[in-house]
Amino acid sequence: MKSNIGVIGLSVMGMNLALNMADNGYKVSIFNRTTSVVDKVMEEHGHENFIPTHSLKEFVDSLEKPRRIFLMVKSGAPVDMLIEQLIPLVDKNDIIIDGGNSYFKDTIRRTKYLKEKEINFLGVGISGGEEGARFGPAIMPGGDKEAYSYLAEIFEKISAKAYGEACCKYLSTDGAGHYVKMVHNGIEYADMQLIAEAYTLLKRVAGFSNEELHNIFEEWNNSELESYLIEITSNILKVKEDNKYLLDIIMDKASQKGTGKWTNLEAIDLGVDISVITAALNGRFMSNLKDERIKGERIIEAKVSKLEDFNIGREEFVGLVKNALYVSKIVSYAQGFKLLSVAEKEYGWDFNFSEIAKIFRGGCIIRAKFLNDISDAFKEEEHIDNLMFTKFFANEINTRLTDLRELVSIAVQSGVAVSAMTSALEYIDTYRTSQSSANMIQAQRDYFGAHTFERTDKEGSYHFDWTASEKN
C-alpha cells in the first residue's frame, strides 16, 4: 500500500509533523539524508502508519500519485539541493511542499522554476514550535490552488483548531504562505518586546516581586490581553531553580533567527512603517551589546525618577501598563496587516485578512483572544486603510491612549527604555496628524537638490530658487 504523503527531514519539527499526520490516519513515508536518523525515529517513535525509507528513490516510489512530498529541511541552499535531487525522480503534477522558514522570494523563484517542469510547488508557513507541529500548528499555505486541493484535507486535519475552525486556510499564489508566516514572526517579535517592556516597568519602576508579577500576568490572561505569550510569561515568572527565580539568572541577551530581519527589510522595500516591529528587532540587537551596556551604565549619568514622584499608586500603575500594552499590541498588529495589504498589491496576491486573523487564533505563537476582534473588523468593514481606523479598534485606542501617553512619559523620566511602546505612541500620533513636518523636509530637499515640491494652493510640481531669494 502506497503512502498518502511523505516527509523529508526528521529533525524535531519534521518528526512531529509526521507523527501528527500518522495520528490522523495518514500513511506517511519518512526519509532523512542521514539514514540512521530514520532507524532512530522508528526505534524511538515508531508509528504503525510510518513507512521508513533509506533512499530518495525508495521514498518517492513509496508515495501514491500525485505524490505529496513535504520538505522539513533548513531553509536556503538545502531546499534547492533537495529539489534538484527530486526532479529526476518525480512525475508531472507531483507536489513538493516546503514547510520550512523559507524566504518568500525564494519560494516565488522555486514555484516558477518547477512550474516550467510541470511540477507543483507549495510554500507553507508552519507556526507553533515543536508542540504545535506535534499536536496542531497554524498552517499558512501558498501556491497553486488546484495543487493545494490535494493537501487541504491533510493540512486542515493536522492543524490547530480554534473556535471550531481549522487554523489553516489557502492564502494565495507562490510565496504568499511564507510571506504571511514572515509577517507573523515580525508581529511575534513586537508582541514579545512589548510584554518584556511591561514586565520591566512593573519590576523596575513599581518594584513588584516575581510572585506579584506572576499574579498580575495571570490576571491579565483572563482579560482582553488573553494570549499564549501572556500565559507563558505568567508561567515563567513562577519558576524557581535551587530556590532562585530562574528568570532572574537568565542573561539579558536575546537571539533571533532572521525572520524579524526579513520583515523589516521587506517593509523598507515597500515603504511601510512597522516601527514597533523594528524596535523589537533593534531591542534584540542592543541586548547583545552586554559589555557595552555595562560600560554605558557607568559612563552616562542620568537623574531618574521613582514611582512615588509621579503621585500614582502601584495598583493604578498596573492599570496604566495594562492599557498601554493593549494599545501598543493593537498597533503592532495594525502595522503587520498594513504590510500584508501593501504586499498584496505589490506581488499580485489576493488575501482574505479576516481569514488570516483566524489562522493566527490557534497553534501559533501569537495566538490571542483579540484576533477574533481583528477577524470581525476585517469582515465588517471593506477597504480598510489601517486596522486602527476600524470602529472597534479606534474606540479601544481612544479609550486607552491617554494611559499609553502617561506611561511612556513615566518610563522616560524613570530612565527605562521602552522603545516598542514609544514607537506605538509615535505611530498613532503620526497617523492622527493631518499637517506633518514633512513640508520642511521637502523644502530642504528642494533647496540643496532641486527635488521640487507640491503645493497646497495649486496643482503641479515646483522648484524654487532659494539662493536667489537669500540675495534679495
- Please give the average per-residue pLDDT across 18-22, as a whole number: 97
Q: According to the model, what pLDDT value does residue 190 have?
A: 97
Residue 407 has pLDDT above 70, yes or no: yes
129: annotated binding-site residue? yes
Q: If pLDDT is split at 50, 70 and 90, which confidence band does 356 have?
A: very high
User: Annotated binding residue at 189?
Assistant: yes
Residue 451 marked as a ligand binder: yes
For residue 175, the model assigns a pLDDT of 97
Q: Is the CB of residue 385 less than 8 Å from the CB of residue 272?
A: no
Prediction pTM value: 0.94
Question: In this predicted model, what pLDDT tens digit does every residue of 153-166 receive, in sequence order?
Answer: 999 999 999 999 99
Alpha helix positions (H), 201-256: 210-220, 228-236
Domain architecture of the chain: domains with CATH = 5-170 (3.40.50.720), 186-432 (1.10.1040.10), 444-471 (1.20.5)
Q: How confident is the model at residue 84 (pLDDT cuts 50, 70, 90)?
A: very high
The more confident residue out of 206 and 260 is 206
Please indicate if the annotation marks 101 as binding a ligand.
yes
Q: Give the pLDDT confidence score for residue 1 in this predicted structure.
A: 84
C-alpha cell at position 464: 524654487
pLDDT digits (tens, 9 = 90+) for 125-154: 999 889 999 999 999 999 999 999 999 999
Q: Which residue has the cell 527635488?
A: 451
pLDDT classification of 471: cutoffs 50, 70, 90: low
Cβ–Cβ under 8 Å, residues 392 and 376: yes
pLDDT at 256: 82
Cα gap 451→302, rounded to integer Å? 42
pLDDT of residue 472: 61
pLDDT tens figures, 375-392 = 999 999 878 999 999 999
- pLDDT at residue 258 in the model: 76
* Model confidence pLDDT, tens digit, residues 260-302: 899 999 999 999 999 999 999 999 999 999 999 999 999 998 8
pLDDT category, 111, cuts 50, 70, 90?
very high
Letter string b/e over residues 348-373, b meaning 16 or more CB atoms within 10 A of that residue's CB? ebebbbebbbbbbbbbbbbbbebbeb
197 or 1: which leads in pLDDT: 197
pLDDT above 90 covers what percent of the chain? Answer: 93
H helices present in 348-471, as ranges? 353-359, 371-380, 391-414, 419-431, 438-449, 466-471
Which residues have a catalytic role annotated? 181, 188
Is 89 or 306 the better-scoring residue by pLDDT? Answer: 89
pLDDT tens, position by position, 4-18:
999 999 999 999 999
| Whole-number average pLDDT of the chain | 95
57 or 256, which is more confident? 57
Query: Where residue 400 falls among pLDDT bands split at 50, 70, 90?
Result: very high
Q: What is the pLDDT of residue 267?
A: 97
Q: Is 184 marked as binding a ligand?
A: yes
| Distance separating alpha carbons of residues 130 and 72, to the nearest angstrom | 13
Q: What is the rounded distance in angstroms from the CA atom of residue 15 to the CA atom of residue 400?
A: 45
pLDDT > 70: percent of the chain? 99
